[in-house]
A = this chain, B = another copy of it.
Amino acid sequence: MLKRERQAFILHQVNLHNKVLSSGLSQEIKVSEDTIRRDLQELAEEGKVIKVHGGALSPSFDQLNYPSDKIYSHTQKNIIAQKAVSLIEDGMFILTGGGTTIIEMARNLPPQLRATFISGSIPAIVEYMHHPNCDIIVIGDKISRNSKITVGAEAIKQINQIKADICFLGINAIDIRHGITDNDWEVVQLKKAMIESAQSVVCMTIAEKINTIQPIQIGLLQSIDFLITELPPDSPELQPYVEAGIKVL
């Protein structure tokens, strides 16, 4: 088989099946894997395929970009995100909710991080997928259109099966007396389950939401371990929480 002919065949296969294995092609065409690899290299240089360990992919198969909406109070959330990332270590099992703050955290993750993320938030999952060394476990159930996360009994059941190292929640209201509260029944159920399933719980919110109340309670202050806002930890607004035993970042 001629070299060019072979490359045409390979290209065809790649476009047909979206991926090819060097070993498989080597067997099919009856040439050494070195040859296949050299072919893939050349095709990759021309941009006809994307070379990966073990084979090659179709160039049209890796487009999954998500429109990065402009986020409300982006600057503050970015500060929060960076503080949150500092709590993450390699190898952790990380349970996360949804919301723009979580997305912002996902975008601030170190690129080479090795960790396992568990989430029902579609936008968050899309972000996690940009990290090649991270495993991602999706919480399945019906999607709540408001929050773009999966909610429902099945989702809660799946969360209950998990024991994560740490859980990150973006919260909508926190108050010394009423703890963390929210206004969506299903989301509240989910967050409760997440708090139960994590060794330590990190709540993230912009300072505006400090000392506010929403109709439905997720949990008391005792149930959370960290509180992250864009303010410095020694800000007077945060002192009541420090005194309540919460680690404020």
**With A54-B2, A122-B125, A138-B150 given, is the CB distance from A60 to B71 under 8 Å?**
yes
For window 4-43 of chain A, which residues contact chain B by CB distance below 8 Å?
A: 4-5, 7-8, 11-12, 15-19, 21, 24
Say whether B123 contacts A140, CB under 8 Å.
no
Main secondary structure of the interface of A (DSSP, over half): mixed
Tell me whether B8 and A61 are in contact (CB under 8 A).
Answer: yes
**Contact residue among B11, B62, B66, B137 (Cβ-Cβ distance under 8 Å from A64):** B11
Complex copy number for this chain? 2
Is there contact, CB below 8 Å, between B126 and A16?
no
Report B-chain residues with C-beta under 8 Å of the C-beta of A21. 2, 183
Q: A188-215: which have CB < 8 Å to B? A: 206, 208-209, 212, 214-215
**Taking beta carbons and an 8 Å cutoff, which residues of A are in contact with B?**
2-5, 7-8, 11-12, 15-19, 21, 24, 46-48, 50, 52-55, 57-64, 66, 68, 71-74, 99-100, 120, 122-123, 125-126, 129, 132, 135-143, 145-146, 148, 150, 154-155, 158, 172-173, 183, 206, 208-209, 212, 214-215
Chain B residues whose CB sits within 8 angstroms of the CB of A172 once the complex forms = 16-18
Instruction: Determine whether the beta carbon of A214 is less than 8 Å from that of B2.
Output: no
Q: Is the CB of B148 within 8 A of A140?
A: no
Given that A4-B52, A18-B100, A154-B158 are contacting pairs, would A141 and B142 also be in contact in the complex, using a CB cutoff of 8 Å?
Answer: no
Inter-chain contact A63/B126, CB cutoff 8 Å: no
Tell me if B137 and A63 are in contact (CB < 8 A): no
Please give, as numbers and ranges, the residues of chain B lying within 8 Å of A212 by CB-CB distance: 16
Residues of B within 8 A of A11 (CB): 63-64
